[in-house]
Amino acid sequence: MTSTTAQRNLAAAQWTPNGGALGSVDLTAPGNQIFGQNVFGPTAQRQYLPKSVFQRLVRSLEQGEPLDIELADGVASAMRAWAMERGATHYTHWFQPLTGSTAEKHDSFYAPAGDGTAISEFSGKDLVRGEPDASSFPTGGIRATFEARGYTAWDPTSPAFILENPNGAVLCIPTAFTSWTGEALDLKIPLLRSMDALSQAATRAVKLFGDEATKQVFTTAGCEQEYFLIDETYYFGRPDLVTTGRTLFGAQPPKGHELDDHYFGTIPERVLACMLEVEAELAKLGVPIKTRHNEVAPAQYEVAPVFENSNLSTDHQQLTMRTLTSVARRYGLVCLLHEKPFAGVNGSGKHNNWSMGTDTGDNLLDPGDTPQDNLQFLFFCTAVIEAVNKHQGLLRASIAGAGQDHRLGANEAPPAIISIFLGDQLMQVFETIEGGESGLKLAEGVMKLGHPSLPELEKDPGDRNRTSPFAFTGNKFEFRALGSSQSPSLPNTVLNVIVAEAIDRLAGELESVCAGGKSLEEALPEVVRSSWNNSKRVVFNGDNYSDEWHAEAEQRGLLNLRTTPDALPQFLEPSSIEVFGRFNVLSEREVESRYEVFAEQYATLVNIEAETAATIARTQLLPAAIRHLAMLRSAGDGLTAVESLSGEMTEMVEEFVFAIRKLEEVNDHPDGLEGIELAKYIRDEVIPAMDGTREVADRLERIVADDLWPLPRYSEILFIK
């Protein structure tokens, strides 16, 4: 008789291409180009809108002209016609509440006509404003539960798109989400406000360098998304994965990623088929996916886009996560986006590549061939360094979360200490300015690879540092500390507003020095030197994993906010409240509401994990251990070796029962605890009890009979494709 484990593994290993396979097409044929076909972008707008309406819409988007109802009606009519031609029967205002995911309420285009038929309707009013019953979304006290009214407002800077379903299609209209009193209840409104704040500050600054053509500065972002794909046979055999997104139990397999053979290895056929369909679906939605590859851990992968406007990039990130999870099921797979789905195995992040660009096409963080002579680059780079140094705690808080606490500081992620990697070349530039020198000549060179058939490679000005949470990577900064399941909206909002503050301050200082009679070339080194001397403590080019760095960072006065309850209070720091308020990104009440929401979410998520762990331990793992013990006792019959095993097992079962009872006891937390105090209790009492229960369970997994252990093991989940 085949064991349950063998049956499960055989089922998981079987896969053949299904009817949903894409096949290969001639991509040089215009009719086979699918990029953006489900997006109501400029091409579709030009085709469906009257010329005058299209031009007004462009002016509105590019120059900030108001969207009046006449323009909205024209756009709505064209959008409805375009969507219905693609099978859409409903539309939804697609928004991003403080849950970290997206939300939608579908309304039909059709309304009864009174004669037994129906007509399609969609007005400018329907496009511009929606009114969802939003009483159950987290608000952090901005309004009471009984106050149900909320509004969604069309965000015309992010184009509408079609989400296809086997039985139809829905027109999705990206929107902002606000309370009845006009306060932001979402992640989109603060992001848009922060982009405006940075644009105003940076536009002021570029004029100091003689740029009169630039009217707007955009922040750009591109998120490298890491994720796991596992067979659904194992997923549905793990209640912990189903309920919490991560395994709460699981002994380490004999083979993990020690051999480094999975990283950039050959992509398994089923996984590649899934990836190809994901990319095709995202292409239809205008998401510019550029890269795919195996990641470090077995069953872990990565997808990365081309960089876009920050608002569009964050919308596309949400679509990427949604598409990964939905398409995976078509291939008998489940996509795991949790930051640490498997203890002891590399977790997943989301590297946020961030830069600033003008509407005339200049990247303000591109150093060029001679960064030491590129005054504009040095100015903006200095602003980023100053911002990260001043607001390191706020940046850390922006990427805090229960899943992150398992990952930050481990070998696949940066530590919780926020620092900047500049590389050798930029360090030389800033240290030269600090010393009062000028005219630095930097070494150039090529790498010769030792064989005439191999080309000489231009040598990069600096190495990469994968241990740094915030690294300069050629013409952008890579904020590497984001979690894989997180929306990038909040981290980008924080980046935008703190850099806007630094640009504003530096621009004012530069204007003041120049007003004293100095030229720009004379004034800039003085301004940069002053800022660098005050901020250079945050720059570290070495190994961020080392114990020596942690000790040095403490001496430098850098924050080490190891857990989410440590980090979240940074939202309430006076400097955080001030910078959000000064640039009209978040009011004090809006900041406090997010602090309350995130603290509650942390406690709730970990409480769900703890209760799930206690249930699995008591109802599945403990009975398996007891059955194994009974088997040993019945087989003893005076056999010394078996009696020894029985004694060992008895001790472990008793230890396990004690651990389970301890976990159940702390799960029933004291009355009156809430907010950050409850989060701290969860961290200090519940998580250690969970870990203690797991430690015994993982030892039991190694000795309980295979046919008795109820949960799929890491060695199955991660390696059977």
pLDDT digits (tens, 9 = 90+) for 209-224: 999 999 999 999 999 9
> In the CATH scheme, what is the code of domain 194-438+462-586?
3.30.590.10
Continuous segment of H or E residues that includes residue 47: helix 42-48
**Helix axis angle, 588-616 relative to 574-582, nearest 10°?**
120
Domain residue limits, the chain: 29-184, 194-438+462-586, 601-717
pLDDT along the chain (721 residues), means of 10: 73 72 70 87 90 85 73 88 92 90 88 61 84 75 69 89 93 90 90 96 94 93 94 94 96 79 85 93 94 89 92 95 95 95 92 94 86 82 96 96 83 80 87 72 50 51 72 91 94 97 96 88 90 94 88 94 95 97 96 95 96 97 94 78 83 95 91 90 96 96 93 92 82
Query: Rounded distance, CA 332 to CA 343, Å?
Result: 24
Quick one: pLDDT at residue 463?
57
308-360 pLDDT per residue, tens: 999 999 999 999 999 999 999 999 999 999 999 999 898 999 999 999 999 99
Closest-CA residue to 108 (of 125, 132, 88, 124): 88
Count of positions (residues) in the chain: 721
Cβ neighbour number for residue 117 with a 10 Å cutoff:
8
Fold category of 29-184 in CATH: Ubiquitin-like (UB roll) (3.10.20)
Quick one: pLDDT at residue 311?
94
Tokens at 147, concatenated: 């106050």
Quick one: pLDDT at residue 625?
94
Query: Rounded distance, CA 598 to CA 567, Å?
Result: 11
Quick one: pLDDT at residue 447?
45
Quick one: pLDDT at residue 1?
47
Strand-strand pairing, 446-447 and 457-458: antiparallel
Residue position matching structure tokens 């231009």: 458
Quick one: pLDDT at residue 55?
87
**Is 3.40.190.10 the CATH number for 601-717?**
no
Quick one: pLDDT at residue 449?
42
Is residue 290 helix, strand or coil?
strand
Quick one: pLDDT at residue 439?
47
Q: Note whether 349 and 483 are within 8 A (CB).
A: yes
Cβ neighbour number for residue 523 with a 10 Å cutoff:
21
Quick one: pLDDT at residue 147?
65
Query: Rounded distance, CA 317 to CA 66, Å?
Result: 28
Quick one: pLDDT at residue 410?
54
Quick one: pLDDT at residue 465?
66
Mark residue 286 as left, alpha or beta (left: phi above 0; alpha: psi -120 to 50; beta: remaining): left
Identify the bridge partners of residue 457 per DSSP, sorted by sequence position. Answer: 447
Quick one: pLDDT at residue 119?
59
